[in-house]
């Protein structure tokens, strides 16, 4: 390893444990040189911690991070985002020179260790753009989230570079999706981010941590190609940009996660990519259940539950 670095993800509840384990399995499968470190909060149950410990996934204890209740609220449709402020604790992982923060609803499909040596200034991050098309016409999403303002619309082939933000360009060109974030941990930077959280207006932040990161690092984040954070919706909405063979990390955004149902109640546009998650889950199962059938019984009990 050329530097002390790690991938990290946040785990606050047992229901996301299968997602984290599949993420870990994917990193191993592509022969990443770097470990996965799980940021865990005090209320994570012992049964989940025991699984992480048993399979050698390091835990980094973090406190839950939330703004005061009167400073920010999330729409009922997006209640799951309440935990995501705590992802900002990744800047506290000062034992590492470089951290690549990943969400637990992702699968790794190709090695992406090059992110560990991506040139970044100490006060910079790197991430891929949001998709600002809002195809579901969700009412509380920003009014300027329309296809013509989406940075992904500007990418006409899978290996084309993403557009850069400029003060006179579309506002969404300056907005990142925080599923994959490349950062250099720093006590000073972490303190500044928490101070920003506690002092700056948050009312218009529809997507808590990623809106804060977009604002805090305005003009100081590098745009990564889509394939490092391949939002599952891009395959349908931005087919010119997408190529299955180029995906490094696939992100199962939106409320319905693939582990909720192996066979969907009704056919949908994301059934094929959801099946990719299950393929990795099954391969993980082959490794675990032959040695630890009780562990696999517990892990399996957390999936295929309609919500």
At residue 140, the pLDDT reads 83
Of all residues in the chain, the percent with pLDDT exceeding 70 is 94
Task: Look at the domain 5-300 and name its fold.
Answer: Spore Coat Polysaccharide Biosynthesis Protein SpsA; Chain A (3.90.550)
Which of 65-69, 114-118, 255-259 is modeled with the greatest confidence? 114-118
Give the per-residue pLDDT at 73. 47
Mean pLDDT of 75-103: 82
The 8 Å CB, 24+ separation contacts for 252-259 are 252/105, 252/106, 252/107, 252/277, 253/105, 253/177, 253/179, 255/77, 255/78, 255/80, 256/307, 257/19, 257/105, 259/18, 259/19, 259/302, 259/303, 259/304
Question: Could you tell me the two tokens for 188?
Answer: 């000073």
Q: What are the beta bridge partners of residue 104? A: none
What is the reported pLDDT for 82? 63
Q: Residue 79: pLDDT above 90?
A: no
Q: What digits encode the pLDDT tens for the residues 188-210?
A: 999 999 999 998 888 778 888 99
* Coil/strand/helix, residue 243: coil
Residue 273 has pLDDT above 50, yes or no: yes
Cα–Cα dist 69/140, whole Å: 19
Q: Decide if pLDDT at 121 tops 90.
A: yes
Per-residue confidence (pLDDT) for residue 306, from 0 to 100: 62
Greatest pairwise CA separation for the chain in angstroms: 58
Reference 91, options 8, 29, 31, 22; nearest CA is: 8
Measured distance CA(230)–CA(195) in Å, rounded: 31
Q: What is the pLDDT of residue 77?
A: 42
Q: What is the value of pTM for the model shown?
A: 0.94
% of the chain residues with pLDDT over 90: 84
pLDDT for 71 beyond 90: no
Q: Which residue has the higher pLDDT, 118 or 77?
A: 118
**Mean pLDDT across the stretch 8-22?**
97
Residue 149 pLDDT class (50, 70, 90 cuts): very high
Q: Is the pLDDT of residue 265 over 90?
A: no
Mean pLDDT of 92-117: 98
């Amino acid at each position: 390893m050329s530097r002390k670095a790690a991938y990290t993800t946040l785990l606050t509840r047992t229901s996301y444990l299968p997602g984290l384990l599949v993420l870990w399995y994917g990193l191993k499968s592509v022969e990443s040189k770097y470990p996965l470190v799980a940021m865990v909060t005090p209320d994570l149950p012992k049964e989940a911690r025991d699984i992480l410990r048993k399979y050698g996934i390091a835990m980094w204890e973090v406190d839950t991070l939330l703004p005061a209740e009167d400073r920010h609220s999330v729409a009922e449709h997006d209640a799951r985002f309440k935990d995501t402020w705590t992802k900002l604790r990744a800047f506290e992982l000062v034992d590492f020179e470089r951290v690549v923060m990943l969400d637990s609803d992702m699968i790794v499909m190709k090695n992406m260790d090059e992110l560990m040596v991506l040139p970044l200034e100490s006060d910079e991050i790197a991430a891929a753009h949001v998709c600002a098309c809002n195809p579901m016409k969700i009412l509380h999403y920003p009014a300027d989230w329309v296809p013509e303002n989406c940075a992904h619309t500007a990418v006409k082939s899978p290996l084309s570079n993403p557009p850069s933000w400029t003060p006179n360009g579309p506002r969404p060109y300056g907005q990142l999706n925080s599923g994959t974030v490349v950062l250099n941990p720093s006590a000073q930077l972490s303190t500044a981010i928490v101070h920003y959280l506690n002092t700056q207006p948050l009312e218009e932040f529809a997507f808590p941590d990623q809106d804060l990161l977009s604002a805090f690092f305005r003009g100081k984040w590098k745009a990564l190609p889509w394939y490092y954070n391949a939002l599952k919706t891009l395959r349908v909405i931005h087919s010119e940009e997408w190529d299955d063979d180029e995906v490094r990390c696939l992100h199962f955004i939106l409320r319905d996660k693939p582990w909720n149902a192996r066979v969907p109640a009704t056919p949908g546009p994301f059934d094929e990519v959801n099946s990719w998650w299950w393929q990795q889950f099954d391969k993980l199962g082959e490794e675990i259940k032959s040695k630890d059938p009780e562990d696999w019984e517990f892990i399996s009990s957390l999936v295929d539950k309609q919500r």
